[in-house]
Structure 1
Amino acid sequence: MFFVLLIPALLLIVYCGIIVLYTKWFRRLKLFTGIASEDSCFFSVIIPARDEEANIANCLLSILNNHYDKNLLEIIVIDDHSTDNTAKIITGLQQQHDCIRLIAMKDLVSPEEKINSYKKLAIQKAIALSKGDWIITTDADCMVPGNWLKNFNAFIRETNAVFVAAPVRFINSGSFLSIFQCLDFLSLQGITAASVSAGFHSMCNGANLCYKKSVFLEVDGFKGFEHLASGDDMFLMRKIQKQYPDRTRYIFSQDSIVSTLPMPTVKTFINQRIRWASKADSYDDKKVIAVLFVVYFFNLGFLFLLIAGCFNPLYFVWLLVFMAVKIAFEMNFMRYVCRFFGQEAILKYFPLMQPFHIAYTLISGWLGKFGTYQWKGRQVN
């Protein structure tokens, strides 16, 4: 039995050590509260949108309601072949707000052109047509806070950053699936805040990113990974981090948190996570790959113990012991993360979600490597 438990036990020790590091880094983060005396950065906010008639108006209005000089703002929405009223809604808002621009992908892309990542292409086309010195990306189903732009402006001026990763949270609707996604996403966001601020990982989320346009052009944008369906955020961050290691930062501010909707169904949730996992073996950040390796095989260890328990019930006991240790270390980390993101109320569900989280980690990780998935009505390789 000792040798059967040896590898899972070693993985448990390494995994818990990683969580302790993330907790330490997260706890030492200091809230950014600086507000620049004047608006000075010209921001081009870029929003790719495909069939987002239910969300795009709220997204645009939340940006327009920011306390920022509208002469230093343009909002570029790239309509990615929508089949609903997305373009019509944007056009209606354009008539009231001069800073909104609508670009149709169908006018920029040949029907014969083979594309695996429409989102990266949409962002790149929009950047080429943008007027701002700074690019901000978000998603069409996001809502931004009132000081979102002011915070980016102040942070850039104070830190001299050229790339700024920023926090994102899911909106909890109260359903099991919603709570599960909120907790899962909070853990990813907590790791992002901790590891980026510590200079350990290059992690971010394209729903809330800001970078200097000239730097994007300097590193040749998405060149080198434009064929990958995902990665408009982390791969770009990695390229810029190599050029500017001390100017790639994370803004730790509750006034900078962008809120977005979780996936409405299990199918769309799994497809989203497979899309995220599909880029894992393309990272050149060895520390990210090492952590992903530990996490995947640590979770695989639970499946191994479950199978072993069918032959010897004592393995079920060890499975529960390992699970309890895992939960204890993660809960300690998550309570700080949930507090920052204002979602402490759902932390009580965290232990109950563990079996589902392990199963989904194994499934999405496997399919991300060997499977295909659908995203926005398209089959992706």
Structure 2
Amino acid sequence: MQIFLGGVAAMFIGYAIIMLLYRKWFVQLKPFINPSTFSPSTSFSIIIPARNEALNIGDCLQTILQQNYPVSLFEIIVIDDHSTDDTSAIVEKLKLLHTNIKLIKLADELNGQILNSYKKKAIENAIGYATGKWIVTTDADCLVKKDWLKSYAAFIEQQDAVFVAAPVIFSNNGNLLNTFQYIDFMSLQGITAASVSAGFHNMCNGANLAYKKEVFYEVNGFRGIDNIASGDDMLLMNKIKMLYPNNVAFLYCEDAIVTTHPMPDWKSFFNQRIRWASKAEQFKSKDQKIFAVLVLVYGFNAALFIMPLLAFFNGWFLVYWFMFLSAKTLVELAFALPVAKFFGQKFIWWFLFLQPLHIGYIVISGWLGKFGSYHWKGRNVK
């Protein structure tokens, strides 16, 4: 018992240190403010992979079309990944009204080829049609603010960056599942902002990032990672960071926040998180810092996961479990409060009581990400 508890205590100390470092780096960030007078010159190609997104693609495109940015400096490329609904038809209608919209059908590009990562191939093919100097990626269920591109352009033209990650947030209708995802994802975004800005490790989300088109080709695009189902964002970021270690940045700006939808049910939620976890093994050789953090976080949560079970043999385990859980909650709260402030949200205090659920999902999704399979966008992936 003493050896086990000593190990848990050591993992907690490591976890607390890293979370407090994240907090320190986050509160040190200075928000990027769009200049009042700014004449942009950066050209963008916005790439949107879409698979069965008829319910969302129209709203997504409308928010992009309403950008406070010269139409001559951006194009929108929607690449339809074998949709069986009206995704393409909706894009076609908007395309007739807006000359800066392009539609590509991945099925026509592949000619029946079977892949393990259709999204990477979709993005790669779309980049082949892109005319902008910078590639911006987002998802078909995302909504952007009117100064989204302006924020990117002003930031890029002031910074010596070749890859820029930017903030994403979930919408929240207040129910249990949405609130759980909202707080969890918001914390991940805070860690992304802190770690990237401090140069500690790589993190980003494909719903909101940008990179130079020439740099994409300079690192040979997705070659070497194209067999991995996910990772069109973080694994590409890692390739670029290896070549340009001082030219990767985070756009800490409210105008750059992209809003997307949480998963509608628990099954979809777990499939999404298993998908995210499935690329963790790749960081063992590519980004040892984030891999070490992932191992620490998983180990600590796994210990907390089994302690209530051990209490059947020794009741003191339940006492120590509560102590570690309380300490973990306080450390995470210290980090989450300033992050919530940036996103303009009040912290939802009753979420603290969902800590056991949070621990369980980390352990289960991490395990299945390594040893299991998942269902995503109508496809089974191993």
Alignment of 1:41 onto 2:42: yes
Q: Write the deviation string for residues 149-189 of structure 1: whole angstroms up to 9, x where unpaired.
A: 00000000101211000000000011100000001101110
Q: Which residue of 1 aligns with 2:351?
A: 350
Answer yes or no: is the 8 Å Cα contact 1:46–1:78 preserved in 2.
Answer: yes
The residue number in structure 2 matching 1:270 is 270
Q: State the alpha-carbon separation in 2 of the partners of residues 235 and 205 from structure 1.
A: 11
The answer (yes or no) to whether the contact 2:337–2:347 under 8 Å persists in 1 is no
* Displacement after TM superposition at 1:243 (Å): 1.2
- How far residue 345 of structure 1 moved from its aligned partner, in angstroms, is 4.3
Deviation at 1:114, TM superposition (A): 2.3
Report the residue type matching 1:300 in the other structure. A
Is residue 2:67 matched to residue 1:66?
Answer: yes
Where 2:97 maps in the other structure, the secondary structure is coil
**Secondary structure of the structure 2 residue equivalent to 1:303:** helix
SS at match of 1:206: coil
Whether the aligned pair in 2 keeps the contact of 1:78 and 1:103 (CA below 8 Å) is yes
1:371 is aligned to 372
Bigger mean CA offset, 350-359 vs 323-332: 350-359
Does the 8 Å contact 1:331/1:350 carry over to 2? no
Partner Cα distance (1:374, 1:92) in 2: 31
In structure 2, C-alpha distance between the alignment counterparts of 1:118 and 1:224, rounded to whole Å: 15
Contact 1:192 1:204 in 2 (8 A): yes
Quote the Cα distance in structure 2 between the aligned partners of 1:12 and 1:310: 23
Counterpart CA distance in 2 for 1:60 and 1:334 is: 32
Q: TM-score, normalised by structure 2?
A: 0.98
The residue correspondences of 1:109-188 to structure 2 (distance < 5 A) are: 109-111=110-112, 113-188=113-188
Output aligned runs, 1:76-115, within 5 Å: 76-111=77-112, 113-115=113-115
Percent identity, please: 52
C-alpha separation between the residues in 1 aligned to 2:40 and 2:157? 10
The aligned amino acid for 1:335 is L
Q: Secondary structure in 2 aligned to 1:48?
A: strand
Q: C-alpha distance in 1, partners of 2:157/2:14? A: 39
Aligned length: 379
**Other-structure match for 1:21:** 21
Which deviates more, 299-308 or 39-48?
299-308
Alignment partners' CA distance in 2, 1:349 and 1:127 = 44
Task: State the alpha-carbon separation in 2 of the partners of residues 300 and 50 from structure 1.
Answer: 35
Cα RMSD for the two superposed structures: 0.9
Partner residue, 1:229: 229
Structure 1 CA distance for aligned equivalents of residues 82 and 261 of structure 2: 21
Measured after TM superposition, the shift of residue 343 of structure 1 is: 2.2
Gaps of 5+ in 2: none
Q: Which is worse superposed, 240-249 or 269-278?
A: 240-249
1:162-311 mapped onto 2 (5 Å cutoff) = 162-283=162-283, 284-311=286-313
- Between the aligned partners of 1:356 and 1:330, the Cα distance in structure 2 is 15
Q: Which runs of 5+ in 1 are unaligned?
A: none
1:304 CA displacement: 2.8
Code of the aligned partner of 2:31: L
Name the amino acid aligned to 1:69: P
Confirm or deny: 8 A CA contact 1:74 1:132 kept in the other structure.
yes
